[in-house]
Structure 1
Amino acid sequence: MPADFDVPPGEDADAAHRTWTQLRARCPVAHTDALGGFWALTRHADVARVAADHTRYTTTVQNVVPKVAFTGRRPPLHLDPPDQTPYRAALNPLLSAERVARLAPAVRAIVAEAWAPLIARGGGDLCGEFSARFPVRVFGHWMNLDGALEAQLMQSGPAFIQAVQAFDTDAMRGTSLVLYDMARTLVAARRADPRPADEDPVSALLATRVDGQPLPDEMVVGTVRQVLVVGIVAPMVMVGSIGRHLAQHPELHDQLRAQPALRPAAVEEFLRLYTPYRGFARTPRSDVELGGRPIRAGEPLALTYASANRDEAVFDDPHTFRLDRPNIGEHLAFGRGAHYCAGAHLARLELAVALDALVDGCARITLDGEARWCPYPEIGPYALPVRLQADAARGTVATAGTVTPAA
């Protein structure tokens, strides 16, 4: 069939949103031959309906566009209920709102440490030197990694992400296998020296029983492998998008600095406006019709969350940042249904603390070069050169909730 749209190389975020705006108006369920061929769902209603219906649309065949899982099954993302359920049941309590709130002091300390070198130098790569680094340490803290494994993750996690961004299948396999080796090391360590299941995700998985039997060894390893990197990319991209927006809208920087009570609303609006995913996938189990288009069983569907969250039918003036958006709770940044992001509370905490650093940590953010943009499945910058202006008037720089001498 003729392609409805193309995915041009080097596509930036603004170009993608222009394409989706056109598709929502003329062809909301659109096919492309790019990236192996897939259907893109661009309207909020279609994305929400398919995301919530795991009985008709499965994640077990392909979970992102382009297809990048070559090295094994990785619960819970790669499974549907009921197979997914015991893995989510093990991890969800460790990612509850109450549990995540207890992590706040550690997250603030980690973000402050990552932010300090940039403000001391007066700038740098906001993504590569800040938002690509602190989420690794946050996950390392949450997973109780020792120093050696955390240092290895700091190298291996970004290496895998770079391979995915380049769509280098050989590098994806190689870097993924390194992460699998890390996962096996961690699982072996917890078998030898278990932690309380309510304090440690690996121990929680090992303690889980289904009909009296433990979870399969390789599925536990796959889950740990998934958890090692699943929370790294989205915060990197989101913080880059937030920093770019604040640089382009200094009046918002000033407003959020003067009125901290507005920041929770700002985080939600940033999540809507700059949703970092455009290619989470589902596969219909049988022939279906969506938006008047017949789709055969087995054809991949991209749930384009970033497009759905700018759907004019749901969000008034959707391309504009608005702190007073009345229906902000309808955004799909964390998905919908059984695969709703288990780490949503932790992600919100990380973004809130990072926003504090950006807003309180300098008087002004200025773009200092060209951004480099993520390809599918993410959308947003993975490199963002910036200059950071210290607050000379106060003589201090507030860094993630603390006050330190200005550079």
Structure 2
Amino acid sequence: MTHDFDPLAPETFDSPNADYARLRAQCPVAHSDAWGGFWALMKHDDVSAAAVDWQTFITSQQNVVPKVAFTGRRPPLHLDPPEHTPYRRAIAPLLTERKVAKLEPVVRRICRDLLGQMVAKGGGDVVADYSAHMPIAVFANWMNLTPDAVAELTRVGQRYNIAVQSNDVDATKESSLLLYDMARGIVADRKAAPLPVDEDVTSALLATRVDGEPLPEEMIVGTIRQVLVVGIIAPSVMIGSIAVHLGRDRALQAQLRADPSLVPAAVEEFLRLYTPYRGFARTAVTDVTIRGRTIPAGEPIALVYASANRDEDVFECPHEFRMGRPNMKESLAFGRGTHSCVGAALATLELNVAVEELLAAAPGFTLAAEPKPTRFPEIGALSVPVAFERAGEGAA
């Protein structure tokens, strides 16, 4: 089998996107021998088509490259329609724009508290000290967790995040099992004392009925476990990548600081430019031929959203940051089809507030060292050391 690229090769923050540009031009349907072998779709049209065609490209066999699901099935991401639908229907009403807007004061307070500690020290790591903490605390509030559970989720969630990004298999398994234990505890608490289904995701899942029967409890546990993880990792990586860009582009930093109303448009473009996923996977149920290459049935296929969102055939000068692109509806930052991100509104709120508060925390900031990159399946920044300026210390 042809080995078109090596996802295990050493990377910098910028090198994966350079390699993906090469693959889009020369080998848009690529194969790698890593992790037992997998295919990767690099072009926007191919990624979008596969994401929408859930009958041909299923997610229930393998949902991410590399395969990191060691225990159990975790709806809705590990299921295909119609099996996945009841879980998504239970979650979605709790993640509408109207619902998550109520969390804005919570998100802002968390961001200010974390940044205040960093500014007092003159700097720190945007990921380790800021973005790794904030989404966990926000999710804990959204899930109505007790203070003790919040502290435990913060501790275990960070361990899991670091383990996955460092490709530490043993630590990933260990922390994953701890997250399962947390999920079981949350389910047990809600069974004993349910909360209103329009205010609590666990209670909503427990109340769901399919043909008069409740959802299997272990699948509810898997859903809570999935929600915990997805809501932790992607925002953490994404905020790190935004901080890298702003640290390099002082003019943009100053522009957004002077006019915070531009932040939502900037975040939309950041999401396209630094889409944090490259490893969400599908498996074709039959042989499929894409751009002249035949992918045998049963082999994992990575939908490389990060590459698709820099496709030159869709986005003009795709490696440039341009607010207000006319075709932003083509962005695949939150996926497409039945498995598009159900938490997109919450993620957008977190990113908007996180960027606003990062800019407001000091007159300016610079990169204190080169960012450390993540590895498959995410793409972006795992560590972003910054130094904050004090008033009067240089240009904002």
Shorter chain as denominator, the TM-score bin is over 0.9
Q: Deviations over 1:138-194 (max 9, x none)?
A: 000000010111111111112122222233333222211111111111100000010
Q: Would you say the 8 A contact 1:126–1:243 is kept in 2?
A: yes
CA drift of 1:137 comes to 0.3
The answer to whether the 8 A contact 1:36-1:66 is kept is: no
Does the 8 Å contact 2:108/2:357 carry over to 1? no
Secondary structure at the counterpart of residue 231 of structure 1: helix
Aligned to 2:64: 64
**Alignment-derived partner of residue 25 in structure 2:** 25
Partner of 1:403: none
2:48 aligns with 48
Counterpart-to-counterpart distance in 2, 1:257 and 1:367: 17
Q: 1:65, CA displacement in angstroms?
A: 0.6
Q: Give the TM-score normalised by the residue count of structure 1.
A: 0.95
5 Å matches for 1:265-280? 265-280=265-280
Counterpart Cα distance in 2 of 1:13 and 1:304: 16
Match of 1:232, SS state, is helix
* Equivalent position of 2:347 in the other structure: 347
Could you tell me the percent identity over the aligned residues? Answer: 56
The CA distance in 1 between the partners of 2:182 and 2:151, in whole Å, is 11
TM-score (norm 2): 0.97
CA distance in 1, matches of 2:353, 2:179: 28
Aligned to 1:234: 234
SS of the residue aligned with 1:13? coil
Name the SS for the 1:30 alignment partner.
Answer: strand
Structure 2: runs of 5+ lacking an equivalent: none
Residue 386 of structure 2: SS of its match in structure 1?
strand
Q: Paired residue for 2:185?
A: 185
Counterpart residue type for residue 251 of structure 2: E
**TM-superposition CA deviations, 1:207-247 (whole Å, max 9, x none):** 10101110001000111111112111111111111111111
Rounded Cα–Cα distance in structure 2 between residues aligned with 1:313 and 1:92:
33
Residue 99 (structure 2) pairs with residue 77 (structure 1): no
Determine helix, strand or coil for the equivalent of 1:40.
strand
Asked if the contact 1:10–1:373 (Cα under 8 Å) also holds between the matched residues in 2, the reply is no
For residues 111-140 of structure 1, the C-alpha deviation after alignment (integer angstroms, 9 at most, x for no partner) is 111211011111001100000001100000
The equivalences for 1:144-223 within 5 A come to 144-223=144-223
SS at match of 2:312: coil
Alpha-carbon distance between aligned partners in 2 of 1:364 and 1:138, rounded to the nearest angstrom: 26
1:126 aligns with 126
1:322-401 pair list within 5 angstroms = 322-392=322-392
C-alpha distance in structure 2 between counterparts of 1:185 and 1:89, whole Å: 23
SS in 1 for 2:377: coil
**Which sections of structure 1, spanning at least 5 residues, go unmatched?**
398-407
State the AA in 1 paired with 2:324.
D
Distance 2:111 2:173 in 1: 31
Name the CA distance, whole Å, in 2 between partners of 1:96 and 1:380. 27
CA RMSD across the alignment: 1.3
Aligned pairs, number:
394
- Matched residue type, 1:328: M
Output the CA distance in 1 between the equivalents of 2:170 and 2:324. Answer: 46
Counterparts of 2:374 and 2:253 in 1: how far apart (Å)? 25
Give the drift of 1:8.
4.0
Deviation at 1:276, TM superposition (A): 0.6
Q: 2:390 is matched by which residue type in structure 1?
A: A
Helix, strand or coil at the partner of 2:14: helix
* Contact 2:13–2:371 under 8 Å retained in 1: no
Question: Is the Cα contact below 8 Å between 2:23 and 2:30 reproduced in 1?
Answer: yes
Q: CA deviation at 1:35?
A: 2.6
Give the structure 2 partner of residue 13 of structure 1: 13
